[in-house]
Structure 1
Amino acid sequence: MPKLNKQFVDKLKPVERDTLYRDSSVIGFALRVKPSGAKTWVVQYRNKAGRTRKLAMKNSSAATPDEARRWAKTTLGQVAAGRDPSAERNAELGAMTVAQLCDEYLTAAKKGLVLGKARRRKSPLTIATDIGRINGHIKPLLGQMAVKAVTHRDIVKFLDAVQLGKTAVRRVKDKPRQGALPAGGPGAAARAVGLLGGIFSHAVRRGYRDDNPVRGVQRPADSVRTTFLTMADYRQLGAALKAAEAEGESRNAVDAVRLLALSGCRRGEAASLAWPEVDLTRGMLRLSETKEGYSLRPLGRPAVDLLAARPRHAKSEAVFATESGAPYRDLGRAWDRIAARTTLRGVTLHGLRHSFATTANALGCSEPTIAAMLGHSRGTITSRYVHHVDDVLRAAADRVAGAIARAMAGEKPAAMNDRQGD
């Protein structure tokens, strides 16, 4: 029998049928060669039951003879210790993968079996965000791994890869309907690892593994966007919206941006807003599904007037309905076009929500009032406040929305705190 080294492998001649060359020094170590020229390193052994087993080395074509020899010695050492590497490989191949775990997690979340903030079931908007992170980051990097095989180190490598943008997707210019595309950076990595921790907690609860490999992984601080609109910026935005509408921009887009600016709603809340959730008489939104669960929001008079002037689709309850009746879904690209008409940089649609809160603060609104207007769940105090001080909330919403509306109309602001002036 030859010694399976580089010199022997380099001198191998083509074979007419599958041929197994056994090593002279490591019993059980062999090289299988096919007529096609494909070479596979294998070990052959008997398990504790006395049955003969063969195990092929993964990625054999890329392994050197020395690497294959080390692998064979390690594998045969496991056999000597009473293990059955071939059976373990087969069990691993049949085990649940991270991709399958993610699918099960999402199915459970849609049924209300996965709880989010304040132990509430996850909202459809949150689940949609989870799907984006799973498809954009988790499945590409970890999807094929067995759930039981994932280690703390694998999670750290995942975190680094997302931070470095290895899963980021660039938006293609002028290509419609791209939706939310995966992004890289510390914020994306922190949120993806946070979701991954929840997914592996689900695995622990279901008995798929005994521990959570995400536990103890140090996540980067999520980047907090501090860009907000001043009154001068609001005047720019108002002029841009007026010009965009005059030049044929979708009314859905223009009105949706105005509503976000005047109400502090989240983008997804506006996009999915339905007429049964709108109470124009009392100046309220009764949102059935938000990140915080059911949410009651006061509307200032300018926001009420905006919604009252909206046309209604004959066959759809969507406030921002397309001709087919489906909810309008192209707000992100429309915002890019509108913002390009201004000198504003770094302001996102979510930044309009931050700006609403900043304006409210500049007008002297208290933190509980601002939290209630934005629909933040801050414990029982805010909950009681929302349900028992409706008139106060509406008055506050009138002040904030009124100041923003006047600025967007080009009027000079009344006296405000320094940061919101000109």
Structure 2
Amino acid sequence: MKLSKRSVAALPPRSGRYFVWDDELSGFGLRVEESGRKTFLCRYRKNGVRRQYTLGRYGNITPDEARTEAKKIIGAVAFGQDPSNARNLERCAISFSDLFDFYLREHGPKLKESSKAEYQRAITKHALPAIGQLQAEAITRQDLNKIHLSLADRPHRANRVISYLGGVFSWAASNGYLPEGNNPARSIKRFREQSRQRYLTEEELSALGNALRLAETSGIPWITAATGTSAKHTPKSNPNVTYPNSVTNAIRLLLFTGCRLREILNLRWKEVDLQRGFLFLPDSKTGQKAVVLNEAAISILHGSPRESDYVIPGDNPDHPRHDLKRPWKHIRAVAGIEDVRLHDLRHTHASVGAAAGFGLQIVGKLLGHSSPQTTQRYAHLADTPVRRASNAIGSALELALTENKKDDFSSG
């Protein structure tokens, strides 16, 4: 058949792989895997030996793009070249560092900026020192497993690094930089991760509120991490530190809205609709979404000055504040909640809604969860009927024990 967008899309998977060849361009074909994956390829003969050149996966390239590339390959063969052998030599020469550069340049524009930055940060720090200079095709599962084990004290980070590496190798195989199926990260067993469920209690929320009020008014005592003669800030006195309202209000908005950190720090005034009570976020972790504003959040935004395009501006008003690490570490220490992360404010927002009996569907909608399974972590807080049943059973059992006790005394 002629390999076109319609004909390729209609090809079904079968038991075992099969090939379909184009009836117009000799040597141009498509391989269909049992999984349904479809890959364009070009076959030719060089010195009596059949060669095969992988053009790319359907979905990454179109049939017309693959046909154009196949014509180039067949033309090169006619002039005495051997493109498949040239690619093999090129594969042997490419280092993982170069491969990662290609990945960022060619695939990076398709990623969210935050995802691209996280990939780059994690792989540059943890993988490139170990495998950056190795030939990409020669990297083994053992090489990646050493990186994984080196981060055993941070299992979540270790697993993310291996996942990121797996994404790079998968992309490289799909785009012809490595042989298909070459993904040494695929079989690495991940560390078990402990799910973290940290919610602030009423007492902790009260302490946090006091710390925030002190931070923006009279100030809170400076805490020096290092001590001794080598300390960068050896305390000759104990001055109080104040933070601008933009910092304390950012922390309050994280709690009152349940938004993620970057959603608040990158928030622009044009995305705030106080009249209707919404934040219209153009790009969140789950895509475009609207965030319902409660009266507490609206009050904060009403009282915030509009001195920048951003609700939480940085030192340069043309840019948003980069992070809240230093003030949050200081404020949470004063509040006595050193183990609480900024993301735990989002969990606290959700836990209060779940415990109030609003239901997991409503809580998930408020948080912008794309999957109901994500909201299931709050199920134990939302089981109001289950709690009522437990209380009823406990009361009945307590009554039975009490009655039995009275009977024992009367019989004595």
Q: Distance in 2 between matches of 1:282 and 1:101?
A: 48
1:231 to 194, 202, 215: 202
Could you tell me which residue of structure 1 aligns to residue 121 of structure 2? 132
Q: Distance in 2 between matches of 1:309 and 1:214?
A: 50
For the Cα contact (< 8 Å) 2:274–2:298, is it kept in 1?
A: yes
SS at match of 2:134: coil
Could you tell me which residue of structure 2 aligns to residue 257 of structure 1? 251
| Normalised TM-score (structure 2) | 0.60
Q: Distance in 1 between matches of 2:250 and 2:148?
A: 35
Q: Residues 252-331 of structure 1 correspond to what in structure 2 (within 5 A)?
A: 252-313=246-307, 316-325=308-317, 326-331=319-324
Q: Percent identity?
A: 34
Q: Distance in 1 between matches of 2:140 and 2:295?
A: 54
Q: Distance in 2 between matches of 1:106 and 1:372?
A: 33
Task: Tell me the CA shift for residue 125 of structure 1.
Answer: 2.1
Q: Residues 322-341 of structure 1 correspond to what in structure 2 (within 5 A)?
A: 322-325=314-317, 326-341=319-334
2:140 to 148, 151, 155: 151
Task: Tell me the CA shift for residue 259 of structure 1.
Answer: 0.5
For the Cα contact (< 8 Å) 1:252–1:328, is it kept in 2?
A: no
Q: Distance in 2 between matches of 1:276 and 1:221?
A: 42
Q: Distance in 2 between matches of 1:127 and 1:279?
A: 30
Residues 281 and 141 (structure 1), Cα distance of their counterparts in 2 relative to 1, 3 Å cut: farther
Q: Distance in 1 between matches of 2:295 and 2:115?
A: 29
Tell me whether 1:377 sits opposite 2:370 in the alignment.
yes
For the Cα contact (< 8 Å) 1:123–1:290, is it kept in 2?
A: no
2:346 to 344, 349, 353: 353
Residues 222 and 100 (structure 1), Cα distance of their counterparts in 2 relative to 1, 3 Å cut: farther
Q: Residues 23-422 of structure 1 correspond to what in structure 2 (within 5 A)?
A: 95-112=93-110, 122-164=111-153, 185-209=154-178, 210=180, 211-246=182-217, 247=219, 248-313=242-307, 316-325=308-317, 326-378=319-371
The letter of the residue matching 1:106 is: L
Task: Tell me the CA shift for residue 107 of structure 1.
Answer: 2.8
Moved more, 369-378 or 90-99: 90-99
| Normalised TM-score (structure 1) | 0.59
Q: Distance in 1 between matches of 2:215 and 2:253?
A: 16
The letter of the residue matching 2:249 is: D
SS at match of 1:289: strand
Task: Tell me the CA shift for residue 140 of structure 1.
Answer: 2.3
SS at match of 1:213: coil
Relative contact order (C-alpha < 8 Å, sep 6+): which is higher?
Answer: 1
The letter of the residue matching 2:215 is: A
The letter of the residue matching 1:317 is: D
The letter of the residue matching 2:150 is: A
For the Cα contact (< 8 Å) 1:125–1:290, is it kept in 2?
A: no
SS at match of 1:194: helix
Residues 110 and 312 (structure 1), Cα distance of their counterparts in 2 relative to 1, 3 Å cut: farther
For the Cα contact (< 8 Å) 1:130–1:195, is it kept in 2?
A: yes
Q: Distance in 2 between matches of 1:238 and 1:109?
A: 44
Q: How many residues align?
A: 264
For the Cα contact (< 8 Å) 1:285–1:296, is it kept in 2?
A: yes
